[in-house]
Amino acid sequence: MNKPVFALVDCNNFYASCEKLFRPDLATTPVVVLSNNDGCVVARSKEAKKLGIKMGVPVFQVRQLMRRHGVLAFSSNYALYADISQRVMATLEALAPALEVYSIDEAFLDLSGLQQLQSLAEFGLIIRRRVQKWQGITVCVGIAPSKTLAKLANHAAKTWPQTGGVVDLTDKARQRKLLALLPVSEVWGIGGKLTKRLQQLGINTALQLADADPNYIRQHFSVVVERTVRELNGESCLELEQIAATKKQIISSRSFGQRITDKQQMREAISEYISRACSKLRHEQQQAKHLTVFLRTSAFSDNDTPYSASKSIELDTPASDTRLFLAKAMQLLDALWVEGYRYAKAGVMLADFYDPGVYQPGLFDQPAITDRQTTADQKLMQLMDKLNAKHSKTIWFASQGAKQEWSMKRELLSPAYTTNWQQLPIVR
């Protein structure tokens, strides 16, 4: 039986790379991508990193630095990033027998048995060249007998250019050499609090954690940290998850581009969030029974009186019909709304999920609507999702509004190069 071998493929500076993809004139230009409402830096190109621009820094704090060095800023273009991500993942899926999409810019590949056919490092270079040629995105590849080691191998591939963007850690000696170079905080799953506790025990490097007694670590920390120790020693404890776990809740929320004081505008915002959440719910092939709506003013403004409130409701039976949740959400909004506040954020949460058709009602519950009506409602929602997937927001509910003046500020948004026919790049 082949021993497990994992490859972690990670896109370099993904959001910034997507912005440069259709702008060859920005090949050497420092680029940053901003958070919702263009507030903070959430992604940086390698050129921007060299200038010392930190992740999460508010834009106003580095605006002079950006002007001085010609740094170009973009609003977050989520549709573009998601589409490029899907293309990259499709390319990776064709190269390996199994794939786990770990995040929008990362994926684990199963390379078990491949070492008998060719060098794993050479295969890592094939992955890099294929993604670069087909999608225009640069990736780094870390290869190892466990997911945790593959994460560290990928970190090394990014950190040291002389690796060529690929690090193979299937050799035990190479594993220990790298672990000795890395602080324990770089280990996957070891956060700030765990790092401090481990350092108090004299465990400062990844190698020292690997050499710790697993039973001692389990007694003084947890089985999760014990599993990390075993993974650092090349023992695979985390399998490839080819089927994404079903979400336990769906939250749709945004900070507003401007403060909301008008209830009608808030109705539009809540309707928009309900529509997004229900669409995601149907995509997960789930139904929800619990709905929460929340409102809040800004916690960081001296000009706004603090106010934060939420209300929830339980449906009689699980559902995924946007119209039903819209009606319930408006009831909750009426109970939450207080005049005189300048609202900065609102959102909705769906929870208590069920697979369609498996909910068992109580003896005295209200009878559900007929199967024929349920089928008709499902087909209507599916049709809406299908049309909106092909052409963004083809059909929407009137309560969502047309202008949406409250919507998130994205003044530096790049074109939808791959998802809108009107904004396709033109080669002259």
Q: What is the full DSSP assignment across 32-90?
A: EEE-GGG-BEEEE-HHHHHTTPPTT-BHHHHHHHHHHHT-EEEE--HHHHHHHHHHHHH
Q: What is the CATH number of domain 249-400?
A: 3.30.1490.100
Within a 13 Å sphere around the CA of 89, how many CA atoms are in the beta-carbon half? 18
pLDDT of residue 382: 83
pLDDT of residue 225: 92
Phi, psi dihedral angles at 400 (to 5 degrees): -75, -15
* CA–CA dist 340, 399 (Å, integer): 23
Q: How far is CA 148 from CA 247, 254, 330, in A?
A: 24, 33, 46
* CA–CA dist 262, 33 (Å, integer): 31
- For the stretch 303-315, what's the b/e string if a residue is b when 16 or more beta carbons lie within 10 angstroms of its beta carbon? ebeebeeebeeee
Burial of 1 per CB tally in 10 Å (0-12, 13-18, 19+): exposed
pLDDT of residue 79: 86
- For residues 261 and 283, the answer to whether their CB atoms sit within 8 Å is no
* CA–CA dist 354, 350 (Å, integer): 11
Residues constituting the chain: 428
Give the H/E segment covering residue 14: helix 14-21
- For residues 293 and 253, the answer to whether their CB atoms sit within 8 Å is no
Within a 13 Å sphere around the CA of 279, how many CA atoms are in the beta-carbon half? 19
pLDDT of residue 199: 93
pLDDT of residue 15: 95
Residues of the chain with pLDDT under 50: none
Closest CA to 271 of 407, 370, 362, 383: 407
* CA–CA dist 142, 165 (Å, integer): 8
Q: Which tokens sit at 228? A: 């990390």
Q: Which tokens sit at 333? A: 């909004």
Beta sheet of 343-354, edge-to-edge order:
249-260, 343-354, 287-297, 308-319
In this structure, how many other beta carbons lie within 10 angstroms of the beta carbon of residue 165?
21
pLDDT of residue 303: 76
Pairing type for strands 343-354 and 249-260 reads antiparallel
Give the H/E segment covering residue 288: strand 287-297
- For residues 125 and 168, the answer to whether their CB atoms sit within 8 Å is no
Give me the amino acid identity at 400.
Answer: Q
Contacts of 275 (CB under 8 A, 6+ apart): 322, 326, 396, 397, 400
pLDDT of residue 366: 60
Burial of 340 per CB tally in 10 Å (0-12, 13-18, 19+): exposed
- For residues 153 and 143, the answer to whether their CB atoms sit within 8 Å is yes
Closest CA to 222 of 189, 271, 249: 189
Q: Which tokens sit at 237? A: 């404890």
Closest CA to 356 of 281, 293, 254, 414: 281
Residue 272, classed as helix, strand or coil, is: helix
